[in-house]
Structure formats: C-alpha cells, structure tokens
Amino acid sequence: MSQKLFNVAVVGATGAVGEQVIGLLEKRNFPINELKLLSSSRSAGTKIMFKGKEHTVEEATPDSFKGIEIALFSAGGEVSKALAPHAVRHGAVCIDNTNAFRMDPETPLVVPEVNIDKVSEHNGIIANPNCSTIQMVAALKPLQDRYGISRIIVSTYQAVSGAGTRAIDEMLRQTREALDGDVVKPDILPVGSLPVKHQIAFNAIPQIDKFQDNGYTLEEMKMVRETKKILGDDSIEVTATCVRIPVVYGHSESVYVELKNDYELEDVKKLIAEAPGVVLVDDPINQQYPLAIDAAGKPDVFVGRVRRDLGHARGLNLWIVSDNLLKGAAWNAVQIAEYIAIEME
C-alpha cells in the first residue's frame, strides 16, 4: 500500500499546544515528508527532536509556507490572521487552533466526532474549536441526535495550561510562594495583555479572556457561538460561566442540558458510553467520576455524574472532563489533519 507523504508546518512549535501537536504527529506516525517547525522570532533557533532527528525552529514568515501542504497553527489569533492566508496562497490546507476564523461562515469549525462532514467545505482553512467547547459538544452530540437539545448552561473549571506554558510556570511559582508564606506575585493571569492580575494559586478566577460589552468574557462567548455552529443549530440556548482554577492539565465542566424530548436516564448513559471518543465514568457507589488528573495525557472526553435534573423533567446534569491540550486542542487538530491527509491522497 503506497501512502502519500506530506510537507507539514507547525506554527507555534514551542508553545504548549504546538509541543503536543508535534508529539502526536510522531506518535500517530503521520505521513510526513518534510516537517517545518515555525515560531515567533523570539523562539526561533530552538531545537526540537522529531523521530530521532533534531529540527531547528524557524521564524514564521509569509514565505515559510512554500511547498507546505498541511499547516497546523497554534500561535495565537493574530499570527493566524497574518500568516494563514499566505499558507493558503502557497497551496496549504491550514488547521487553525485559534479564534481567528472560527466564526467565519466560510470556515468549517470541526470536531471530527461531531461534524467531520463539514471538513471538505473548507476554502483552505479549517478551524479547530476552543478547548472548552470541543469536549462539551463531543459529549452532547449523541444526545442531540437522539433527543434534540434546547438549552445548555455550563460552568467550567479550567486548567491554567489553557493560558500557555508561562501561565503554568506562574501557577507553580505562586503555589510555592503561598506554601512558603511568601508574598504571592501575580504576573500573567487572568489575561496576559490586560493590566489587572490576580493570584491563581489556591484561588478561582471567574475571568478567562477579555470581557465583552454584554458582561460575558470572550471565552464564554466562544462556548456560546461555537457550540451553536458545531451542533448546527442556532436555536439552542447556551449560557456559560468560565472559571480558571489551580489545575495544570484538564478542563472540567458542570453542564446542565435540556433535551427537546423525554429521555430515559439509562439510555442517555448508553448513548454517551457508545459515543466515539467519549468514555463514560459514572459509578457513584464506587466514587468513580471523571477527574482532571486522570484525564491528563489521554485523548478522550470523560463524562460522569449523569443524573436527572431535580427541577426540569427533560433536564440532565453532566460532569465533562478532558485534557485541554489534547482533545481540547492538539489531538482534535491532528485528527482533522489525518482526515485531510486521507482526502488529499
């Protein structure tokens, strides 16, 4: 069996997500001819091992994409906006893990287990959804198909790795400072580019990304808009409260979902257990439910605490956990790349 090999670029190769992308391309034995690792000028020159061979990270420029067939972007929205069109011009298909193109009507927003059929509709760019959205829609898709969804109310418990490696470093440093009784110095979180900083060690910060005019943060509005787009139903009412907590890897979510039709609880559990990429961990008697530390390093979405709402007959409560850097980012992107590769063969 012959297999086409691709010239692949990873933009943001030294970032938290980029590292995971590179690791997954190796682990999945992605059909690569040439691998080009790109970053900002600051990180250019960094050496990264891939399949036993040292690669030097280069500065990403418009000309970096000559000959590239698949480009995975995770270097922030501004970089994607600036460079993805050049990658497309050079003939690459871009899988963009930023907010830059997600709500563009011409850009498919894809979670393979949910709407892989949309992937072929791209004009050169396929958007990878926000981490907190991906795990939620992967878990809810089988319920939508079977019962319909009228409403979602989600509160998140998000890991600091979602804010990058510097945020991880900051939390670990702050935690040591707090344990040692030293003054805790906030430096990056909640939002690196904003003036006010808050301690994340032993705290919960109800702000992820900037506030919008309606009082919701951008992270919350991403969950609202992306959920509707991916599930393909603008009539679903979605509200989100996004909160950063002192966890390194793994986002947890408390999700209330209102179905359009009456459901059987056992059938709901069965649908979740059988859903692709989703693992049911729901055994209260034995105190088994999804935990961030268990999900870390795994590609799946874990769902538990599945129970009937106490107020609404068609309401359902779930606890959804996944590694925000894997299914929430790198793994979802590499899954899309694998579909693209098959399509381009």
217 labelled as ligand-binding? no
Is 242 labeled as catalytic in the residue annotation?
no
293 binds a second copy (CB under 8 A): yes
69 Rama class: left (phi>0) / alpha (psi -120 to 50) / beta:
alpha
161 labelled as ligand-binding? yes
Helix (H/G/I), strand (E/B), else coil: 213: coil
Choice from 78, 309, 343, 345 touching a second copy (CB under 8 A): 309
288 binds a second copy (CB under 8 A): yes
Is 251 labeled as catalytic in the residue annotation?
yes
CB of 6 to a second copy, least distance (A): 37
Residues 6+ apart with CB under 8 A from 42: none
Class of residue 266 by CB neighbours under 10 A (exposed 0-12, middle 13-18, buried 19+): exposed
Catalytic residue among 86, 94, 131, 242: 131
Closest by Cα among 165, 204, 209 to 190: 209
* Euclidean distance between CA atoms 227 and 156, whole angstroms: 14
Residues 125-164: x where in contact with a second copy by CB under 8 A, - otherwise, as a string: --------------------------x-x-x-x-------
The residue among 88 and 153 lying less far from a second copy, judged by its C-beta, is 153
Choice from 118, 319, 324, 337 touching a second copy (CB under 8 A): 319
Beta-strand relationship, 278-280 and 251-259:
unpaired
* Euclidean distance between CA atoms 281 and 261, whole angstroms: 24
151 labelled as ligand-binding? no
| Contact between 303 and 139 (Cβ < 8 Å) | yes
233 binds a second copy (CB under 8 A): no
Q: Which residues bind a second copy (CB under 8 A)?
A: 151, 153, 155, 157, 172, 175-176, 179, 190-191, 194-196, 198-199, 202-207, 211, 214-216, 224, 237-239, 241, 243, 245-248, 252, 254, 256, 284-293, 304-312, 315, 317, 319
Q: Show which residues are catalytic.
A: 131, 251
